[in-house]
Amino acid sequence: MLTRINRYGATNEDFGEIARINHEHSQRNPYSQFKDVYTLDQIMGSAMIHEPLTKLQCCPTSDGGAAAVLVSQDFLDARPHLKERAVLIAGQCMATDAPSLFSKSAIDLMGFEMSKYAAETAMKEAKVTPADVKVCELHDCFSANEMITIDALGLCPPGKAHEMVRAGDITYGGKMVINPSGGLISKGHPLGASGIAQCAELVWHLRGWANNRLIKDTSVALQHNLGLGGAVVVTVYKRADGKVATPVDDKTIGEKNRLGYNPAVEAKGFTEKQARSTLSKTKSSAWALGETEKKVESRF
């Protein structure tokens, strides 16, 4: 953070504003660990963790799970009724730490170069530019990481991430929406599940299911997930039918997914009957499942 402040002119309040926005976004995500909304003064006045990061700028310790279903193009072509909700992995790149990690720069230590390389590679594969991105889920384990990553992903001119934050260009009404889920700071950071949770959020946006937080006419979604010391994965998603996201009403979603509700805006869980309807007819094991179904149902 001090590197960012000294080199580019960011202020402590710029980092606090990132956290304020993430907490504000999280109130619309039914799966957020926290849904409290704070003022910038409250963010800045919370307990100091490591100068100048305060408690509300740091992700919590979290539990959680997430899953994604991957299918081939042949599978999808054989089931055209699924295409309106299928989302294409249009570009993806995993990169590891570069020699710049040892430059003694805090920005490089946070994986700036590997994030930059992965983003450029994934976007080139997807044939998009940062200007095409309207919604992004990125790895904001701390507000400082989000500031650095905005720059690394090319979402702003070099060194201008703090100006983007000040202009309101990372939230609704601005240039794009970053971490509509609330991000790791407020949604939570269950480590191994965090990346797939980001994927789920972006899929809901591209399908038009995230009705209480949808970004109009989204056609490209960007995901960034990293582990320091270190690897990063950047993914570009598009709708498989080539269209832009338009809102789908909750009733229609509930009918199509056979849950009876829209899981993007409501966390209701599922019944044993619904769970069994998704099991393989030949490869499921009651012994392996054990009491899982009862435990999951009890949580809702």
Q: What is the pLDDT of residues 60-92, one digit of tens each?
A: 989 888 889 999 999 999 999 888 889 999 999
Element (H, E) at 237: strand 231-239
Burial 17-48 (b: 16+ CB within 10 A, else e): bbbbbbbbbbbbbebbbbeeebeeebbbebee
pLDDT for the residue 8: 80
At residue 109, the pLDDT reads: 85
Structure tokens at 263: 């899981």
pLDDT in tens, 205-249: 999 999 999 998 899 999 999 997 789 999 999 998 889 999 999
Burial of 117 (0-12, 13-18, 19+ CB in 10 A): middle
Structure tokens, 17: 């504003």
Q: What's the CA gap between 74 and 86, in Å, rounded?
A: 13
CB 160 within 8 A of CB 14: no
pLDDT given at position 124: 98
Global pTM reads: 0.91
For the chain, which domains are there? 1-268 (3.40.47.10)
